[in-house]
């Protein structure tokens, strides 16, 4: 696809919108009109400012068919730039819908955090006007507008728990037993990487200690702890204890309101590991079946069965875990509406405190896409997502957190549901950028948030474990930025 950008700065948003309709196309963005429109999909977006108004045009040509939409924006309108961007997106969306015939439920909204935008609009103009703006201006469906409102309301209560001096700790364990076919997260050999684990844990403990000193010096308040991955339950019970003890010694945990380990793969969960988690005061874990359809599990290379999930879950209950989340994915290969319904039956029987329903994302470097398996028609995915919403709400779960990713099947969303009072707090703090996240480990990104404002700065750790180990001194050096950052603010 060629996306010709004529005289405007909205190429990023227009490219995102093109990707919604053509998720697998390579998009070439150009400002050079001399490039011929020989591509099977050619898009031109242009802005022409006249004396009183600005003409905005989107033209889309798909093979032999073509559609063009032009609109005018008054030059003296408030928020002129964002109005131009919105009108251009509406025009482009209109062309696509007429040519492709595929209306997406999120309209022209391509951002990661729809509920954050909803909250902002409610603050500015109240709920009714916010809903109207979603539906009329952003072209979001009634159902997704309601979902954004429900999530925004839940988030508000939880966001109020965060203070200017709050922060969360994220511990990155980027190791997995094998690679799932839809994953683009780990690109190195699992077996090779796993050999690095003991040395990785040693250095991770040093980084935790160093970060803890900084947090104490700054007088910050640790609210939540989250181990993500990868698969954190790949750690042995001894390694879990070692990291947990290091965190306990390095930080003041007296105000911590949630301590989560995303155990992840059921095949890595043992009684010893669960007991180790309990003994370091982990309050919430996630055991992720993805589906209870064994054919799908095999197709995505998960190397565990649904029986294995059931056993891991009952082991966790025996060990006393009373806040368990389970991740599901809608749109997996070989999953049908019937088998997805069956997965929801199993969830109902197990009755976990939280369920996170992801939509399959077709990441370019995943084996699902590179092997061509991802090309399977996923037309039933929106029905699965709706089914999950309806059934989970009926049995007492409420949506409390939501985010969107690029290349999600049907341009759909990921939603966290929970029983009342069992929401994953870290998820909201992180997604809604309530406070700083001090992240440790390979691939971790420290997010520094201005204590009483919105400014955010990121500090990146090395992505892969081997770089993290070989250049560890640089990681500690980069951490100095945390103290510099906070020295500019009162909190
Ligand atoms: S467990 Fe998660 S991070 Fe690991 S390979 Fe599978 S999807 Fe990727």
What's the 181 CA to ligand 1 centre distance in angstroms? 9
Closest Cα to atom 5, ligand 1: which residue?
A: 179
- Which residues fall within 8 angstroms of residue 101, CB to CB, at 6 or more apart? none
Does ligand 1 lie within 6 Å of residue 172's CB atom? no
Sign of CA dihedral 140, 28, 372, 297: negative
| Whether 78 contacts 89, CB under 8 Å | no
CATH code of the region 1-103: 3.90.950.10
DSSP 292-334: S-HHHHHHTT----HHHHHHHHHHHHHTT---EEEEEEET-TT
- Which residues fall within 8 angstroms of residue 328, CB to CB, at 6 or more apart? 289, 290, 291, 343, 347, 355, 356, 357, 358, 388
442: exposed, middle or buried (Cβ count in 10 Å: 0-12, 13-18, 19+)? buried
What pTM was computed for the model?
A: 0.93
**Ranges of each domain in the chain:** 1-103, 161-479
**Ligand 1: which atom is nearest the Cα of residue 265?**
1
Question: Per this entry, what is the length of the chain?
Answer: 491
Look up residue 313 and give its two tokens. 């879950």
Tell me which architecture the domain covering 161-479 has in CATH: Alpha-Beta Horseshoe (3.80)
Residue with tokens 């809608």: 330
What's the 265 CA to ligand 1 centre distance in angstroms? 8
> 24-38, 61-75, 142-156, 202-216: which range is least confident on average?
24-38
Confidence label for 179 from pLDDT (cuts 50, 70 and 90): confident
What angle separates helix 114-125 from helix 142-159, to the nearest 10 degrees?
A: 80
Ligand 1, pocket-test mutation among 173, 174, 175, 179, most atoms within 8 A of CB: 179
Residues above pLDDT 70, as percent of the chain: 98
- Which residues fall within 8 angstroms of residue 195, CB to CB, at 6 or more apart? none
pLDDT tens string 113-164: 999 999 999 999 999 999 999 999 999 999 999 999 999 999 999 999 999 9
Confidence label for 348 from pLDDT (cuts 50, 70 and 90): very high
**Per-residue pLDDT, 303:** 85
Q: Provide the 10 A C-beta neighbour count for residue 301.
A: 14
Rounded to a whole number, what is the largest CA-CA distance in the chain? 73
User: Does the pLDDT at position 484 exceed 90?
Assistant: yes
Q: Provide the 10 A C-beta neighbour count for residue 29.
A: 15
Does ligand 1 lie within 6 Å of residue 233's CB atom? no
Does ligand 1 lie within 6 Å of residue 451's CB atom? no
Mean pLDDT of 77-85: 96
Ligand 1, pocket-test mutation among 187, 194, 228, 231, most atoms within 8 A of CB: 231
Q: What is the chain's mean pLDDT, rounded? A: 94
Strand arrangement of the beta sheet that strand 53-62 belongs to: 28-30, 2-6, 41-49, 53-62, 65-74
What are the beta bridge partners of residue 458? 447
**Per-residue pLDDT, 373:** 72
pLDDT tens string 305-327: 999 999 999 999 999 999 999 99
Q: Which residue has the higher pLDDT, 362 or 309?
A: 309
Compute the distance between CA of residue 167 and CA of residue 437 in angstroms, rounded to an integer.
6
What's the 57 CA to ligand 1 centre distance in angstroms? 42
Mean pLDDT of 248-258: 98
- 343-351's contacts with Cβ under 8 Å and 24+ in sequence apart are 343/289, 343/291, 343/292, 343/293, 344/387, 344/388, 344/391, 344/392, 346/289, 346/292, 346/306, 346/310, 347/392, 348/391, 348/395, 350/310, 350/313, 350/326
Confidence label for 36 from pLDDT (cuts 50, 70 and 90): confident
User: Does the pLDDT at position 189 exceed 90?
Assistant: no
């Amino acid at each position: 696809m060629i996306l010709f950008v004529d005289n405007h700065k909205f190429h990023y948003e227009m490219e995102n919108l093109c990707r919604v309709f053509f998720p697998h196309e390579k998009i070439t963005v150009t400002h050079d009109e001399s490039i011929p429109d020989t591509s099977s999909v050619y898009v031109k977006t242009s802005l022409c400012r006249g004396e009183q108004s600005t003409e905005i045009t989107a033209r889309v040509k798909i093979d032999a068919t073509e559609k063009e939409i032009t609109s005018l924006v008054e030059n003296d309108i408030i928020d002129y730039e964002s109005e131009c961007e919105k009108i251009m997106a509406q025009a482009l969306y209109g062309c696509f819908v007429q040519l492709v015939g595929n209306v997406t439920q999120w309209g022209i909204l391509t951002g990661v955090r729809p509920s954050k935008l909803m909250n902002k609009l409610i603050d500015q103009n109240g709920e009714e006007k916010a809903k109207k703006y979603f539906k009329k201006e952003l072209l979001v469906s009634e159902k997704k507008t309601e979902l954004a409102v429900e999530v925004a309301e839940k988030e508000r209560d939880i966001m109020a728990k965060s203070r200017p001096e709050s922060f969360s700790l994220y511990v990155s364990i980027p190791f997995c037993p094998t690679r799932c076919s839809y994953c683009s997260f780990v690109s190195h050999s699992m077996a090779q990487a796993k050999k690095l684990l003991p040395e990785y844990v040693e250095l991770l403990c040093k980084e935790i200690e160093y970060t803890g000193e900084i947090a104490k010096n700054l007088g910050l308040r640790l609210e939540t702890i989250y181990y993500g991955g990868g698969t954190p339950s790949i750690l042995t019970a001894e390694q879990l204890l070692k990291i947990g003890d290091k965190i306990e010694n390095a930080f003041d945990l007296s105000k911590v309101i949630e301590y989560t380990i995303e155990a992840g793969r059921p095949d890595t969960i043992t009684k010893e590991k669960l007991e180790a988690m309990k003994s370091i005061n982990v309050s919430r874990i996630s055991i992720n079946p993805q589906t209870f359809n064994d054919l799908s599990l095999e197709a995505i290379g998960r190397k565990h069965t649904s029986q294995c999930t059931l056993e891991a879950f009952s082991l966790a209950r025996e060990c006393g875990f009373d806040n368990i989340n389970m991740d599901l994915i809608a749109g997996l290969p070989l999953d049908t509406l019937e088998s997805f319904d069956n997965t929801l039956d199993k969830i109902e029987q197990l009755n976990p405190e939280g369920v996170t329903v992801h939509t399959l994302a077709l990441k370019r470097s995943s084996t699902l896409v590179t092997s061509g398996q991802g090309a399977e028609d996923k037309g039933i995915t929106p029905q699965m997502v709706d089914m999950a919403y309806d059934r989970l709400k009926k049995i007492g779960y409420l949506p409390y957190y939501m985010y969107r990713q690029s290349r999600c099947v049907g341009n759909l969303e990921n939603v966290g549901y929970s029983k009342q009072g069992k929401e994953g707090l870290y998820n909201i703090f992180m997604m809604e950028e309530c406070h700083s996240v001090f992240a440790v480990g390979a691939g971790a990104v420290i997010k520094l948030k201005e204590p009483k404002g919105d400014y955010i700065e990121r500090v990146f750790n090395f992505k892969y474990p081997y770089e993290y180990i070989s250049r560890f001194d640089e990681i500690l050096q980069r951490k100095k930025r945390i103290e510099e950052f906070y020295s500019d603010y009162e909190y």
